[in-house]
Amino acid sequence: MIFETHIPSSELGEHIETLIYFKDFMPDHSKERVIPTGHTFIIFELDGFKRNTYDNQSLTPNNEFTEVWVSGPHKNYLTISAHERSEMFVIQFKPYGAYPFFPTSMHQLSNSVVQANEIFGQDILDLRQQVLAAATVAEKFALATNWLDEKFNPGKKPPENLLKVLKVIEREKSTQNFVDLLSDYPFTRKHLINQFKK
């Protein structure tokens, strides 16, 4: 199996957790559960297999995905199909990192998986074809990095006061003392909620 990762340098690295490429993955199961982490993903299948998401209780298929799709941040685990000899390319955004690359607020993608061309149009399908045709893994990473550079809108970077709150929450690992966590936040709770949604 081939499994390689790449973290973009410079400003992109502040928003992208990692780029992932794998080939000839051989799972010993046909379904897997993805634990919610707050990340948003753009997922490219490079093997021609259709992927399914499933109802978590009944395990019946509830959606089918091909080519490229986006998985937004989830509150509960996600049950997905696993395939032998699979080949995929994944862009994993940091929990606060996807917004500058997307044309919409991120809360519209909460707890959902959608075909990526519904968001990015033909452009994302063209990128898939380029990644698929690339001769080396390094070239695949470079193509995705260039695409991300083109999409990046620096005017949509999270404000520093929001990042400060996120760092405190991450450090505390709890929101039980939410009022204390917000003592230094310069705006209202409603403002903070709206920032989180974006």
SS (H, E, C) 40-99: CEEEEECCCCCEEEECCCCCCEEEEECCEEEECCCCCCEEEECCCCEEEEEEEECCCCCH
Given a cut of 90, is residue 181 above it in pLDDT?
no
The proportion of the chain whose per-residue pLDDT surpasses 70, expressed as a percent, equals 92
How far is C-alpha 65 from the geometric centre of its chain's CA atoms? 15
- pLDDT for 20-40, tens place per residue? 999 999 999 999 999 999 899
The pLDDT of residue 193: 73
- pLDDT for 77-120, tens place per residue? 999 999 999 999 999 999 889 999 999 888 899 999 999 999 99
The pLDDT of residue 190: 78
Given a cut of 80, is residue 132 above it in pLDDT?
yes
pTM of the model: 0.88
Given a cut of 70, is residue 178 above it in pLDDT?
no
Question: Following DSSP, what letter does each residue of 110-164 receive, concatenated?
Answer: TT-EEETHHHHTHHHHHHHHHHHH-SSHHHHHHHHHHHHHHH--GGGSPPHHHHH
> Could you say which DSSP state residue 198 is in?
-
**Which residue do the tokens 């093997």 mark?**
47
E strand or H helix at 167: helix 160-172
For residues 180-193, one letter each, b for 16 or more C-beta atoms within 10 angstroms of the residue's C-beta and e for the rest, the string is ebbeebeeeeeebe
Alpha carbons 98 and 101: distance in angstroms, whole number? 6
Asked if 70 contacts 114 with a C-beta cutoff of 8 angstroms, the reply is: yes
Residue 164: partners with Cβ closer than 8 Å, 6 or more residues away: 184, 185
**What value does the mean pLDDT take over residues 121-144?**
98
- Tokens, residue 183: 């003592």
* Average pLDDT over all residues of the chain: 90
**Which residue do the tokens 């685990």 mark?**
77
The pLDDT of residue 97: 92
Given a cut of 80, is residue 177 above it in pLDDT?
no
